[in-house]
């Protein structure tokens, strides 16, 4: 699998024209990333204020891309166009990044329409966080070019993108998609089986379920549970994932020694993990705890704080790998 070409084992033309379907938070973030990499972008969204909202979101995202060295200071607005008609929006695209609402029936019809209108070589990728491509491609005449490309928010900052084929997706489509995302600075991972929530969201959900349980049981405050992650394992996870982290936990013996010494205790912790229903009582605990943890900061201020910290982490990781 090539990491330098957008057309491994394929005679398809290079990917230079992108169609982004859905111009909300995720779609505009994708658009900013693609523009930063010198690609021509067509945005489609039926919302009456979609264009102005998307331009605002792209403008807000741009300074971070400049800081990371991904983008030049000036936004190349000339490379961006808005198209109200879906079929026209995908008619010249080499790659489509779809970010429509998470409604299966709606997306099945959407993919049928895009498949009928897009050129034969065009890849149709979905940002869906949980739907299965096997279902979304089911009404397409060319289902082999349909694939999931699930980002993490915000896509212009977080490198991860999960690539999952449906039952009829070709291996060539998956390889071309992986190569294209690498070209745009992403870190794609290939998921070999369709599963609800993909991989990263399932890992998040598993951790959050225990976090909610601990808060509901009064084991610790919402803020302290968050701190247990941000000032503990979360720092290590920015460098290595759980498997490699525990491999290091075994010292010179690595994972084998770790399993010899800790498999018993960890199994007992697994057996004791709880489940907390997201009922009114638990909801009240979470909302009250987050009000205290936010300490008067707005959602906008918290998002800005998150992105500023993410930038510093990403810059540190980039310097380490240069």
pLDDT digits 0-9 by tens, 213-240: 999 999 999 999 999 999 999 999 999 9
| pLDDT for residue 11 | 78
Mean pLDDT, residues 112-140 taken together: 97
Mean pLDDT, residues 34-52 taken together: 96
Cβ distance 112 to 138 under 8 Å? no
Asked if residue 226 and residue 179 are part of one domain, the reply reads no
Q: Would you say residue 243 lies in a domain? A: yes
Residue with tokens 């230079």: 16
Asked if residue 250 and residue 119 are part of one domain, the reply reads no
Q: Would you say residue 7 lies in a domain? A: no
Give whole-number Cα distances, 42 to 11, 54, 81, 147, 151, in Å. Answer: 24, 12, 5, 19, 19
Q: For the segment 237-263, what is each residue's pLDDT rounded down to a tens digit?
A: 999 999 999 999 999 999 999 999 999
Backbone angles phi, psi at 64, to 5 degrees: -65, -40
Cβ distance 194 to 126 under 8 Å? no
3 state SS of 185: coil
Complete DSSP assignment for 30-92: HHHHHHHTT-EEEEE--STTHHHHHHHHHHHHHHHHHHTTSS-SS--GGGEEE-S-HHHHHTT
Q: Would you say residue 145 lies in a domain? A: yes
Asked if residue 164 and residue 93 are part of one domain, the reply reads yes
Asked if residue 303 and residue 183 are part of one domain, the reply reads no
Q: Is the pLDDT of residue 7 over 80?
A: no
- At 150, which helix (H) or strand (E)? strand 146-151
Q: Is the pLDDT of residue 299 over 60?
A: yes
Asked if residue 270 and residue 158 are part of one domain, the reply reads no
At 308, list the tokens.
């500023």
Q: For the segment 154-210, what is each residue's pLDDT rounded down to a tens digit?
A: 999 999 999 999 999 999 999 999 999 999 999 999 999 999 999 999 999 999 999
| pLDDT for residue 65 | 96
Cα of first residue to Cα of last residue in the chain, in angstroms, is: 22
Q: Would you say residue 27 lies in a domain? A: yes
From CA 204, how far away is CA 40, in angstroms rounded? 34
Mean pLDDT, residues 282-300 taken together: 96
Q: Give the domain range for residue 172.
A: 17-191
Asked if residue 178 and residue 262 are part of one domain, the reply reads no
| Alpha helices, H only, the chain | 25-36, 50-67, 86-90, 104-117, 133-136, 171-183, 200-216, 222-230, 233-237, 242-249, 254-272, 280-294, 299-321
The fraction of the chain above a pLDDT of 90, given in percent, is 92
The fraction of the chain above a pLDDT of 70, given in percent, is 97
Q: Would you say residue 53 lies in a domain? A: yes
Q: Is the pLDDT of residue 40 over 90?
A: yes
**Chain centroid offset of residue 64 CA:** 17
Asked if residue 259 and residue 237 are part of one domain, the reply reads yes
**Distant-in-sequence, close-in-space partners of 202: CB < 8 Å, separation ≥ 6:** 195, 196
Q: Is residue 267 exposed (0-12), middle (13-18) or buried (19+ Cβ within 10 Å)?
A: exposed
Q: Is the pLDDT of residue 93 over 90?
A: yes
Tell me which of 156, 191, 226 is where a domain ends. 191
Mean pLDDT, residues 289-294 taken together: 97
Asked if residue 311 and residue 210 are part of one domain, the reply reads yes
Tell me which of 167, 191, 215 is where a domain ends. 191
pLDDT band per the 50, 70, 90 thresholds, residue 319: confident
Peptide linkage before 154 cis (omega within 30 of 0): yes
Asked if residue 171 and residue 32 are part of one domain, the reply reads yes
The CATH code of the domain that includes 268 is 1.10.1040.10
The CATH code of the domain that includes 131 is 3.40.50.720
| pLDDT for residue 182 | 97
**Distant-in-sequence, close-in-space partners of 166: CB < 8 Å, separation ≥ 6:** 132, 133, 134, 135, 136, 137, 143, 146, 147, 148, 194
Asked if residue 186 and residue 120 are part of one domain, the reply reads yes
Number of structural domains, the chain?
Answer: 2
Asked if residue 24 and residue 154 are part of one domain, the reply reads yes
Tell me which of 162, 191, 220 is where a domain ends. 191
| pLDDT for residue 321 | 80
Q: Would you say residue 3 lies in a domain? A: no
| pLDDT for residue 5 | 34
3 state SS of 126: strand
Q: Is the pLDDT of residue 1 over 60?
A: no
Q: Is the pLDDT of residue 129 over 70?
A: yes
Q: Would you say residue 309 lies in a domain? A: yes
Maximum C-alpha span of the chain:
61
Q: Is the pLDDT of residue 318 over 90?
A: no
| pLDDT for residue 10 | 62
DSSP code for 1:
-
Q: Is the pLDDT of residue 4 over 70?
A: no
Q: Would you say residue 303 lies in a domain? A: yes
Q: Is the pLDDT of residue 3 over 90?
A: no
Pairing assessment for the beta strands 160-165 and 146-151 based on DSSP bridges: antiparallel
Asked if residue 135 and residue 244 are part of one domain, the reply reads no
Cβ distance 94 to 16 under 8 Å? yes
């Amino acid at each position: 699998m090539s990491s330098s070409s957008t057309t491994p084992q394929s005679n398809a033309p290079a990917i230079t024209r992108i169609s982004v379907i859905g111009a909300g938070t995720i779609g505009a973030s994708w658009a900013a990333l693609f523009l930063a990499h010198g690609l021509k972008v067509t945005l489609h969204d039926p919302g009456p204020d979609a264009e102005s909202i998307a331009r605002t979101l792209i403008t807000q995202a741009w300074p971070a891309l400049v800081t990371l060295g991904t983008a030049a200071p000036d936004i190349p607005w000339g490379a961006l166009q808005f198209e109200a008609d879906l079929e026209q929006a995908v008619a010249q695209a080499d790659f489509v990044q779809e970010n429509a609402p998470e409604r299966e029936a709606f997306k099945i019809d959407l993919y049928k329409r895009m498949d009928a209108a897009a050129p034969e070589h065009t890849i149709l990728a979905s940002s869906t966080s949980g739907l299965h491509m096997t279902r979304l491609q089911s009404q397409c005449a060319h289902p082999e070019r349909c694939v999931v490309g699930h980002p993490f928010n915000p896509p212009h900052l977080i490198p991860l993108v999960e690539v999952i084929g449906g039952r009829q997706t070709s291996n060539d489509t998956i390889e071309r998609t992986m190569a294209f995302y690498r070209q745009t600075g992403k870190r794609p991972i290939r998921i070999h089986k369709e599963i609800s929530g993909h991989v990263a969201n399932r890992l998040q959900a598993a951790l959050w379920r225990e976090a909610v349980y601990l808060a509901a049981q009064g084991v610790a405050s919402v803020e302290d549970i968050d701190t247990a992650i941000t000032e503990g394992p979360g720092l290590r996870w920015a460098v290595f994932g759980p498997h490699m982290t525990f491999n290091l936990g075994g010292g010179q013996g690595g994972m084998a020694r770790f399993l010899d010494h800790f498999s018993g205790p960890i199994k007992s912790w697994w057996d004791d993990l709880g489940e907390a229903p997201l009922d009114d009582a638990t909801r009240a605990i979470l909302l009250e705890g987050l009000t205290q943890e936010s300490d008067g900061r707005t959602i906008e201020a918290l998002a800005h704080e998150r992105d500023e910290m993410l930038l510093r982490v990403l810059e540190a990781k980039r310097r380490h790998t240069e």
